[in-house]
Amino acid sequence: MSSTYGSWPSPFSAASVAASAPRIDGARFVGEEIWWGESVPAEGGRVTVRSSSGAEILPGPWSARSRVHEYGGGAWTTDAEGTLFFVDAGDQRVYRLAPGSQPVPLTPAGPAHGSLRVQHGRLLAVREDLALEPALRAIIEIPVDGSAADDRSAIRVFAEGATFFAHPALSPAGTRIAWVEWSGTEMPWDSASLLIDSVDAGDAGALIPTRAALQPEWVSDTELLYADDPNGRWQLQRLRLDAETLRGEAEEITSTDADTGYGLWVLGNRWYQPVADGRIVAVRTNGRDEIIEIAVDGSTRALDVPGDGHVSVDDVAGSRVLLSGNSSTTTPGVWSVDLDSGEVVTVTGGEPVDTDWMPPAAPILVDGAHGSVHAFAYAPANPEVEAPHGELPPYVVFVHGGPTAHVTGASSAAIAFYTSRGIGVLDVNYGGSTGYGRAYRGRLHGQWGVVDVDDVIAAARGLADAGLADPARIAIRGSSAGGWTVLSALVRGGTFAAGISRYGVADLRMLAEHSHGFEEHYITGLVGPLPEAEALYIERSPLSHADRIDVPVLLMQGADDRVVPPSQSEAIRDALAASGIDHEYVVYPGEGHGFRSGTTIVNALERELAFLGRVFGFTPSP
């Protein structure tokens, strides 16, 4: 059958996309079972905990979600007996859910908690109290007997201050604790310290010289592993401590042109795990992820596993390792890998994708004004339809948020929603993205609104110049910081025929005024300090030049967004209206920074498709 691009019939409905894409939120070995966190789009995106036995461990309406640093992470964990500890999305208190019981609060009302971890029978967490002035954050131990539910003084505090904390880790004997800390004047991927302290009075705490430390893990009371990027790539480090002090020398375990680490946006990610026999399982990222085993002698081998995008090494038990993440060949999933036998068991998700409908993304590299630009191209694919001879397909350029983040070319029903209809997708890792080393992500320092825009334009033009896309029908779509790049690229003009901005940044001064604590100084590194750089803030902001936008724009916004509040989208909407520019504006009640409800996901996808059809002149198939 022949049909024009964009109008191909597709089995991927918006409803099926919403139902097929639960977010996996970590996994744990619990006795003979495996538990994992999973979002439920049909229930407003609440996060439950499920078991490989088929049971739902955390029943509705409870939802495990942290708001520490706004982006949360580490909202649930377990002990060996199957007791669940979780942060409730509603009140941010920590609860204990023993088998056969109801949730019992363990912390007082008020502060938020995250990065939960049970080690050696003790429950560690990161606490954030925004009601105090200044806001206080801390590494704490929470009594599991409930004695601190109404008594804050019963909680043990290991470190506290206006700084930011992550990754608490207790040594095997419970005598020493390590964590990651950063001041907030720089983001943790730019500068973060590793600290070690004695649990009891005795040793003085030690600040270990690091550049951007991540995830300390104790091997023994005198040996600590962590990741750092002193030479431009996050590599595993081994710190051997003197038995009587907290001093020691670090050595690099790995040295490759790849990262074991990522931007510390959320608190639950783990990029490696030590195995009891001395081996280490680690993620190694260079665009896509590779999972490796590091032997005791330092040699490495790649593990044959499906996961190759944003993989987290969640847990280890004997020779078995739990991985969760995305894949270029399967749906997102959780996998149990036996290091000795090589057996890979799919715990949940991980269903092979039909390559006739979802071919693997093609990594591409184009020359840009600031160096090479990395991207992944998803060509239109539908085994039942072909386009008329000589017609070139429309494309949508996806721009990820962050901006310090990256995409991996993973399979996605949301992308197949477009490609199966004859609309190509180009997913761009513009300069500033992670996954390619410090130098690549450092391109955006002081250049947000310049480098990212130049790079997405270069990627789009490269696709058109290669004869793969219709140059007159290329749209650009992004969320949050990606929405900023969308609007900035539309202001630049000349490349994109339409734009879709989901809760995008429109005005830098407004963003600086409303930035929450975690990102309070982020914009300083991306653009410059205020008030010295105010003129630059005005010049770079799309809102200052909205009259230059001359193509249709679709704006979508969560009504409860606290990161990029609705005032940003409303301001650009009003400016477009004043200029008589074709635009649509949609607000979703109950949604924050990111759409989680199945109803919202369905509506947003359907609106985007209808918008593209209207602008590009095709009629989407039902």
- CATH number for the domain including 251? 2.120.10.30
Kindly state whether residue 329 falls inside one of the protein's structural domains. Answer: yes
- Find tokens 């009140």 and name the residue: 91
Indicate whether 393 and 263 sit together in one domain: no
Q: What is the mean pLDDT of residues 115-125?
A: 96
What is residue 259's predicted lDDT score, i.e. its pLDDT? 97
Kindly state whether residue 498 falls inside one of the protein's structural domains. Answer: yes
The Cβ of residue 622 has, within 10 Å, a number of other Cβ atoms equal to 6
What is residue 550's predicted lDDT score, i.e. its pLDDT? 95
Indicate whether 277 and 368 sit together in one domain: no
What is residue 97's predicted lDDT score, i.e. its pLDDT? 98
pLDDT (tens digit per residue) in 170-194: 999 999 999 999 998 999 999 999 9
**Residue partners of 315: CB distance under 8 A and separation at least 6:** 27, 28, 29, 273, 321, 322
Selection from 616, 615, 566, 613 nearest residue 10 by Cα: 613
What is residue 284's predicted lDDT score, i.e. its pLDDT? 97
Chain centroid to CA 542: how far? 25
pLDDT (tens digit per residue) in 364-382: 999 999 999 999 999 999 9
Indicate whether 241 and 274 sit together in one domain: no
What is residue 552's predicted lDDT score, i.e. its pLDDT? 97
Share of the chain above pLDDT 90, in %: 85
Kindly state whether residue 576 falls inside one of the protein's structural domains. Answer: no
b/e per residue 575-601 (b: at least 16 CB within 10 A): bbeeeebebbbeebeebbbbbbbbbbb
Indicate whether 235 and 369 sit together in one domain: no
Selection from 407, 414, 596, 436 nearest residue 500 by Cα: 414
In the chain, the amino acid numbered 596 is: R
Indicate whether 328 and 345 sit together in one domain: yes
Selection from 476, 346, 488 nearest residue 399 by Cα: 476
Whole-model pTM: value is 0.93
What is residue 203's predicted lDDT score, i.e. its pLDDT? 53
pLDDT (tens digit per residue) in 494-505: 999 999 999 999
pLDDT (tens digit per residue) in 141-162: 999 999 999 999 999 999 999 9
Q: Is the pLDDT of residue 537 over 70?
A: yes
Burial of residue 113, with CB atoms counted within 10 A of its CB: 0-12 exposed, 13-18 middle, 19 or more buried: buried
Instruction: Band the pLDDT of 349: cuts 50, 70, 90.
Output: very high
The Cα–Cα gap between 600 and 596 comes to 7
What is the sign of the dihedral through the CA atoms of 31, 37, 40 and 45? positive
Q: Is the pLDDT of residue 205 over 80?
A: no
What is residue 201's predicted lDDT score, i.e. its pLDDT? 61
Kindly state whether residue 195 falls inside one of the protein's structural domains. Answer: yes
Q: Is the pLDDT of residue 22 over 80?
A: no
What is residue 202's predicted lDDT score, i.e. its pLDDT? 52
The whole-chain average pLDDT of the chain stands at: 94
The Cα–Cα gap between 330 and 358 comes to 10
Name the token pair of 188. 């943790």
Kindly state whether residue 567 falls inside one of the protein's structural domains. Answer: no
Domain boundary among 269, 296, 315: 269
What is residue 41's predicted lDDT score, i.e. its pLDDT? 83
What is residue 234's predicted lDDT score, i.e. its pLDDT? 98
Indicate whether 75 and 90 sit together in one domain: yes
Do residues 580 and 548 lie in contact, with contact meaning Cβ atoms separated by under 8 Å? no
Indicate whether 265 and 306 sit together in one domain: no
- Number of domains, the chain: 3
Decide which of 274 and 17 is more confident.
Answer: 274
What is residue 204's predicted lDDT score, i.e. its pLDDT? 59
Indicate whether 386 and 338 sit together in one domain: no
Kindly state whether residue 587 falls inside one of the protein's structural domains. Answer: no
Kindly state whether residue 345 falls inside one of the protein's structural domains. Answer: yes
Indicate whether 86 and 178 sit together in one domain: yes
Residue 475's domain comprises 362-551+609-616
Residues in the chain: 622
Domain boundary among 318, 334, 352: 352
The Cα–Cα gap between 269 and 159 comes to 21
Name the token pair of 443. 């391109």
In the chain, the amino acid numbered 108 is: P
Instruction: Band the pLDDT of 21: cuts 50, 70, 90.
Output: low
* Cα-Cα end-to-end distance for the chain: 17
Hey, which bits of 353-506 come out as E strands?
A: 362-368, 371-378, 395-399, 424-429, 474-479, 498-502
pLDDT (tens digit per residue) in 81-94: 999 999 999 999 99
Do residues 85 and 123 lie in contact, with contact meaning Cβ atoms separated by under 8 Å? yes
Min mean pLDDT across 201-210, 288-297, 317-326, 568-577 is at: 201-210
DSSP string, 20-75: H-PPEEEEEEETTEEEEEEEEGGGTTEEEEEETTS-BSS-TT--B---TTTT----
Decide which of 594 and 295 is more confident.
Answer: 295
Q: Is the pLDDT of residue 56 over 60?
A: yes
Q: Is the pLDDT of residue 58 over 70?
A: yes
Instruction: Band the pLDDT of 517: cuts 50, 70, 90.
Output: confident
Indicate whether 281 and 396 sit together in one domain: no
pLDDT (tens digit per residue) in 402-447: 999 999 999 999 999 999 999 999 999 999 999 999 999 999 999 9
Kindly state whether residue 82 falls inside one of the protein's structural domains. Answer: yes
What is residue 351's predicted lDDT score, i.e. its pLDDT? 92
Decide which of 44 and 480 is more confident.
Answer: 480
Indicate whether 236 and 98 sit together in one domain: yes
Q: Is the pLDDT of residue 574 over 70?
A: yes
What is residue 609's predicted lDDT score, i.e. its pLDDT? 96
Domain boundary among 269, 297, 322: 269
CATH number at 424 reads: 3.40.50.1820
Indicate whether 51 and 127 sit together in one domain: yes
What is residue 320's predicted lDDT score, i.e. its pLDDT? 97
In the chain, the amino acid numbered 343 is: E
Instruction: Band the pLDDT of 168: cuts 50, 70, 90.
Output: very high
